Amino acid sequence: MLLASTMTSAQEVSLAVVAHPDVTTQQLTRDTTRAIFAMRQRTWPDGQAVRVFVLDNNHPVHARFAKEQLAVYPHQLQLAWDRMVFSGTGQAPNRVRNQREMREHIATTPGALGYLEREYLDDRVQVISME
């Protein structure tokens, strides 16, 4: 039993919602964050366009982010994206292959929003706190 809890805590690396350094919003509610990642809200509170970046649905960090931070399952996000794309009312988020690529895109794309494990954070992106 002790071994299982040690393995679990070692695997649970903290996740952060991150944005381009020029984004003026520094805090979001869970509902707003969920709406942005579901592509229902397309702008930051100040009116700037949001460019959402996500990892592949089967990436373990994406699954953890969806469940822990957004309180949804990855397939629920995919269904929402598919509905908007196929109905012509919206688009899916930008997909990246790994967290390094995620960090690069967020650091260089105005209005960008994504998520990273804490070990991938650097001064080129800013952490957005969630209420």
Q: Which two tokens stand for residue 30?
A: 């869970």
CB contact set of 129 (below 8 Å; sequence gap of 6+):
17, 26, 27, 28
Residue with tokens 């942005």: 36
Tens digit of pLDDT for each residue in 8-32?
444 457 999 999 999 999 999 999 9
pLDDT of residue 8: 42
Q: How confident is the model at residue 131 (pLDDT cuts 50, 70, 90)?
A: confident
pLDDT at 4 over 50: no
Q: Which two tokens stand for residue 104?
A: 């690069």
104 close to 13: Cβ distance less than 8 angstroms: no
Distance CA 89, CA 60 (A): 29
pLDDT of residue 98: 98
Would you say how long the chain is, in residues?
131
Q: How confident is the model at residue 66 (pLDDT cuts 50, 70, 90)?
A: very high
The neighbour count for residue 44, using CB atoms within 10 Å, is: 19
Tens digit of pLDDT for each residue in 70-88?
999 999 999 999 999 999 9
